[in-house]
Amino acid sequence: MIKTMGWTAIAVVVVVAGFLYRYESLDPCEWMTQELAEYAGVPGVQGLGGTAGVVMSTGECLQNWMDLRVKGAEQYQES
């Protein structure tokens, strides 16, 4: 039981560290804006996630981010 909780805690730390390394944020709206900028081929700008958060809910940002990730993966496979 304690071993499982330890491994789970380590997994959560690794996932959070990955998001902080890649996006420098834990906000799905920030992830979405950075992915959108990358998909469009323009340099990413930190802080646009707050603006997107005003227009969309966190759930909408998360869904759009996931859609962009899938679209990017499909584009990568076609190349």
Q: What is the pTM of this model?
A: 0.79
User: What is the b/e burial string over 18-46, where b = at least 16 CB atoms within 10 angstroms of the residue's CB?
Assistant: eeeeebebebbbbbbbbbbeeeeeeeeee
- pLDDT tens, position by position, for the chain (79 residues)? 899 999 999 999 999 999 999 989 999 999 999 888 888 888 877 788 888 888 999 999 999 999 988 887 777 777 6
Q: Structure tokens of 27? A: 């906000």
State the burial class of residue 15 (Cβ atoms within 10 Å of its Cβ: 0-12, 13-18, 19+): exposed
